[in-house]
Amino acid sequence: MTDKSQPPLLETLQLLEQLKDAFLSELPEKCEELNSLVLSLAQQQEKHEIYEELYRSVHSLKGAAGTHDLLIISQICHHFEDLLGTLSDESTQINDAFTNNCLSYVDLIHEAISATQNSSADFTAIEHELERIRQTLGKDNYRGLIVETSPMMALMYKDTLSSLPVNLSLLDNGLTALKRLLLEKFDFLILGKELKLLNGVALISALRVSDSVNSSIPTIMVTSGKRKSIPEGGKPDYRINRDTHLTSNLIKAVTSVISPKN
């Protein structure tokens, strides 16, 4: 029970800390549930239902971790969610490698729980392991982040680029995208101009002035076609109209971005 004599702000901070501690105390049990779902999926038991429950659980955990400012756990869940998202590609099989990578992500959440309880928490080893897993999954593919409010449009972009050597992650709001861009290396960014929480122009502006690994990555903005002026700091490298030429222009832009590396 909080002390009524304390200032309201202090009471709020204490309550938030209590909620965070409660969340962390429940995480080991949630990890066991994730393990069970992964193993059930591997055994092909009611595959669709198990997959939906697993994806929903990881997505929910990602959001809750972000709410409690546990960015490393949110980051792990992002990677886990990306891996689960590859099952929409018919070439991705639920084999031993897929299952082991899923279980590795759960193990990393366990490690993050322990590290978080240390006042001098160091997540370097976890971040290196995330990168190692990513490299085994993506091989020589380039990493792209799609930030689009419309799930239908985001999936259309992903399908359009399926013939290119790219691995794509999907997000639906600019603020979450900025947080991820500050933590993980990507090769390019595709985004809409109108985004939730942080619009596309603000996202590019913040990214450009950040001291992050992605501060200078190529950006591709898809707009409604209305040629409104954009402040210099927030201008994308490529601007594509949302019209009948969208798919062909998107392929050209991404090809241009990755071709200098070939």
Parent domain of 65: 9-139
User: Does residue 258 share a domain with residue 189?
Assistant: yes
pLDDT at residue number 257: 94
Q: Euclidean distance between the first and final Cα of the chain, in Å?
A: 61
pLDDT at residue number 88: 66
pLDDT at residue number 91: 53
- The answer to the question of residue 2 being in a domain is no
User: Does residue 131 share a domain with residue 15?
Assistant: yes
Token pair 């066991």 is found at: 32
User: Could you give the residue ranges of the DSSP H alpha helices within the chain?
Assistant: 8-42, 47-67, 71-85, 96-116, 124-138, 151-160, 174-183, 200-209, 246-258
User: Does residue 80 share a domain with residue 51?
Assistant: yes
pLDDT at residue number 119: 65
pLDDT at residue number 146: 96
Question: How many CB atoms sit inside 10 A of residue 22's CB?
Answer: 11
**Boundary (domain end) residue, out of 123, 139, 155:** 139
- 65-91: burial string, b at 16+ Cβ within 10 Å, e else: bbebebbbbbbbbbbbbbbbbeeeeee
Please say whether the beta carbons of 48 and 41 come within 8 A: no
Please say whether the beta carbons of 92 and 63 come within 8 A: no
Let me know the angle formed at the C-alpha of 51 by 89 and 189, rounded to the nearest 5 degrees.
Answer: 50
Number of domains in the chain: 2
User: Does residue 201 share a domain with residue 116?
Assistant: no
Please identify every stretch of the chain with a pLDDT value under 70, giving residue numbers as ranges: 1-7, 45-46, 88-92, 119, 138-140, 225-227, 260-262
- The answer to the question of residue 52 being in a domain is yes
- The answer to the question of residue 3 being in a domain is no
pLDDT at residue number 229: 79
